[in-house]
Chains A and B, each alone.
Chain A
Amino acid sequence: MKRLVPALLFLGIFFFLPLARILTLSLDSGFILAPGGSFYPRLASVLGFTFYQALASTLLTLTFGLPLAFLFARYDFPLKNALRTLTAIPFMLPTVVVAAGFNALLGPRGWLNLLLADAGLPTIAFIGTFGAILIAHVFYNTTIVIRLVGDAWGSLDARLTDSAQVLGANPWQTLWRVSLPLLRPSILAASLLVFLFDFTSYGVILLLGGVRYATLEVEIYIQAISFLNLPAAALLSLIQLLCTLGLSALYSRYVTRVTTQIKPNSPPAARRQPKTLFQKTLILSLSLLCFGFFALPLASLPLRSVTNLSPERRAPLTTPTPQAESAPRAYQSPLSKTFTLAYYRELFINRRGSLFYVPPVQAALNSLAYAGLTVLISLALGFPAASALIRAGKLVRWIDPFIMLPLGASAVTLGLGFIVTFNQNLPTFNLLTFQSSTFNLLTSPFLIPLAHSTIALPFVIRNLQAALATIPERTREAARVLGATPLQVWLRIDWPIIRRAVLSAGALAFTVSLGEFGAASLLARPEYPTLPTAIYRFLSQPGALNYGQAMAMATLLMFLTGLGIFAIEKLRPPGSDL
């Protein structure tokens, strides 16, 4: 219980307190009782849509992610690590960049439609459809399923499935009756996370779904930022939070009931080389599908970052389109595409002598520093919390669902809450110069890793909780009796067993921070612009050079995060699965 205190204190200060401040604003104004005319009917339809799209997206993500989780957990094949890394990259790319990628691929004049038009086939509308929301959510969140379920699948006792087979179960029956039921806790965990991300989705809805679709989070943004109607924003956030709390409470109840049944430390299944033709075909087609789905939208970014499009304005329009009605949509101006590195060169030039020029190396370093701090904070807080949470106690079980809450929080509301709560000039004393000064957390660069940590902490705790639960207390006791100090017990028993989970927890925290999730976008970023900030900055002005530089910066971000994840995957101890 004592070990929970740091994490709870942290969440209390940096999550619950800011939210409470905003919520009290709402209560004070009496808005809940008299919100005015169409508020509640509108709320009902928004809430309905939010649930509907989240549910549909989650199901689709599972459908796509479970086969991939199986693939990564059970088979060894060439380029497996690279493919796994690829699936994780979308998770931390800013929505603007992902939207640009999808647009280049599937947009009105994306190359798929150009191909279709060339072939004389009807073009497809993707951007601005419900399908685009679903696909983008799958694109973002499949990595969660691959990680959580794949991890569990890899360590599933192989003799259970062997037994089922010998008892007469064919592969499908084995899957339905043994593997999936046994994986239920991790599938549920992954589903909950995916659902929460979809539930609080904001950028994807706006950029890919178009303006017709509004989730709670979009409404909150409009109420809070456009109308500065804090009571309405707070009320909506409260509803969003209650939904999250309900879901994670259900989850906690269910999962604690199931996980205790799983035998710890059963020998994991061996990863196999594909042998039969069927297996080889399956793996090849799955990995091709996976590669195509994740790489194609992303590939357009590096591609565009080195392409110079110059319109050949004088050339006559070559293919007159048969459908007169959609003539404007099918409009093409012939473009000459040439290779260029100008955008990358330009990144390093402060052409206008701007005070706010961001050197790309500096932006990358800032991003890495924030991400590193986030990893440190969330691991330092997550460790004791996770070890406390695995000891079942009545109080602990009550606390458990609250740990997940930050994932369901409205980033906008949290950001506003931060402002209301932390805007205080605290007297401090500088130990280096012996001068007293004032310190306002709100303008401190530390607020950003702190905000990132509130989001990363639930991931980290969940990941570590699962790993720590596999260590039988008896093993620790045995070590202690053999004369090991608590530190030695930790170093020789706990650490080797949970190292893998720590690495993936760290990786998640890292990616959460690199992707600039949520609240941080509302907070001040005084002197330390990050890669996503730099991308937004370029995209906010017209001009081919700006667009090209944004693509170049996005490519850098992709490269950097890919490299980071790849390194983490490599760090995994040899022999451990996934």
Chain B
Amino acid sequence: MQKLLLILIVLTLAACAPQPSNPAPGPLSPSDVSPSTLTIMTHDSFSASEEVIRAFEEANNVRLFFLKSGDTGSALNKAILSKSAPLADLFYGVDNTFLSRALDADIFEPYNAPLLAQIPAEFQLDSQNRALPVNFGDVCINYDKAWFAEKNLPVPQTLADLTKPEYKGLLVVQNPATSSPGLAFLLATIERYGPQGYLDYWRALKANDVTVVDGWETAYYTNFSASSGQGPQPLVVSYSSSPAAEVLYAAEPLADAPTASILDGCYRQIEFVGILKGTPHRAMAEKFINFMLNISFQADMPLNMFVYPVNPAAQLPAEFVQYAQTATNPARLDPAANRETWIQAWTETVLR
């Protein structure tokens, strides 16, 4: 019993110790003794330049905490489950495949950010501005350029091409039940072929030996032939920005991207930020959203997260201009209430 008490005391003491912080912020002027804090809950893939974040912190005398909470689905679920006593002031990273869940759960407060005026209407999916668009990325099929060149095979141009016999066994996709790009690609096929026809399309893909794996990491690094994993399939569901990442994160400088995207049959994932209901730091949260929508952060995103800024004023880095392309006429279907039904029907058709 004593031991337990001891442990509790130690834990309490330890917990009471000053909150661990991000790497020490720049020197604060003596006048601002205790900066306020702002917590942003987000998914594990969130990334930003230290410089940009520090600039915001200094300008507003605030300290930012980023609460990374797993993949998109996990992070959102966590925000929903903790809405009674929100863990953060903002939530960033819900995308349009999950948006309806977030809005149904009513976790956001509306905010009519002035900068929304600069952002194309196609990204503003919530009319009440509870979720504000920050970036977008296109889930597209990537292909191994060298492979098709060597085989002297024309690169497939459309979704329909993928069911042709010459592309038998060449495509790897992700399970929509466990993977976000997997779900996006499924939605792209549903938008193209309709809720009645998409299963037929998948039956044809299945007959054409499509490979299904659990998630993006496996698909890209184990199965895709152009990645370091040197896998067997030259076609993979990934992002239209992946070729740029291949160049930027090449082991040795590359003259050209080893991969490229097929711009038909893509799905446009838009990521949103929202102010969590009940935040005591509403004013600062608004400032942070303004900051996210503004040019410096918007221009910082592409190379950190390999996504496109929604603010057209933000300049794209050269690598993006050269190697990444946006999709032509991407799908944006909102799964809303159909998510579970569609995924289950897909599972029955493709996996069983």
Contacts and interface: CB of A to CB of B under 8 A. Distances in A.
B170 A222 contact: no
Interface string A305-335: 0001111010001000000001011010101
A107 B16 contact: no
Given A440-B85, A543-B246, 12 more contacts: A225-B71, A227-B339, A228-B77, A229-B340, A331-B147, A354-B48, A384-B3, A416-B77, A430-B18, A432-B17, A526-B67, A541-B245
B101 interface: yes
Contacts of B82: 419-420, 423, 442
Contacts of B351: 211-212
B250 A542 contact: no
Contacts of A261: none
The listed residue with most B CB atoms (<10 A of its CB), out of A224, A354, A384, is A354
A210 B87 CA distance: 35
B69 A524 contact: yes
B325 interface: no
B17 A526 contact: no
Given A9-B4, A352-B303, A423-B87, A127 B222 contact: yes
A310 B252 contact: yes
A interface, size bucket? 35 or more
B229 interface: yes
The listed residue with most A CB atoms (<10 A of its CB), out of B21, B66, B85, B222, is B222
Interface string A329-343: 101010100001011
B249 A524 contact: no
Contacts of B46: 356
Contacts of A475: none
Nearest to A10: B4
A442 B87 contact: yes
Given A425-B85, A540-B217, A527 B21 contact: yes
B216 to A, nearest CB: 7
A333 B150 contact: yes
A545 B48 contact: no
A211 B150 contact: no
The listed residue with most B CB atoms (<10 A of its CB), out of A99, A328, A428, A539, is A328
B20 interface: yes
B177 A423 contact: no
Given A210-B213, A328-B232, A423-B87, A356 B47 contact: yes
The listed residue with most B CB atoms (<10 A of its CB), out of A212, A331, A429, A433, is A331
A271 interface: no
Given A313-B146, A546-B249, A540 B216 contact: yes
B50 A548 contact: no
Contacts of B74: 225, 522
Given A522-B74, A543-B246, A548 B228 contact: yes
A299 interface: no
Nearest to A304: B228
Contact of A206 (B1, B45, B215, B340): B215
B251 A340 contact: yes
Interface string B218-229: 101111010111
A545 B227 contact: no
A207 B229 CA distance: 14
Interface string A430-442: 1111000101111
Interface in A424-458: 424-425, 428-433, 437, 439-446
B343 interface: yes
Contacts of A444: 15
A526 B246 contact: no
A226 interface: yes
B258 interface: yes
A537 interface: yes
Contact of B249 (A381, A428, A541): A541
Contacts of B151: 331
A310 B252 CA distance: 8
Contact of B51 (A328, A353, A431): A353
B14 interface: yes
A308 B251 CA distance: 7
A544 interface: yes
Interface stretch (B5-13, B156-164, B263-271): B5-13
Contacts of A342: 251
B253 to A, nearest CB: 11
A259 interface: no
B177 A226 contact: yes
A128 B214 CA distance: 10
Contact of A311 (B168, B258, B340): B258
Contacts of A528: 20
B303 A428 contact: no
Contacts of B220: 542
22 contacts: A2-B1, A10-B4, A103-B231, A109-B230, A210-B213, A218-B178, A225-B178, A328-B232, A331-B151, A333-B230, A353-B49, A354-B48, A355-B47, A356-B48, A416-B77, A430-B18, A443-B39, A446-B11, A446-B15, A526-B68, A528-B20, A545-B251
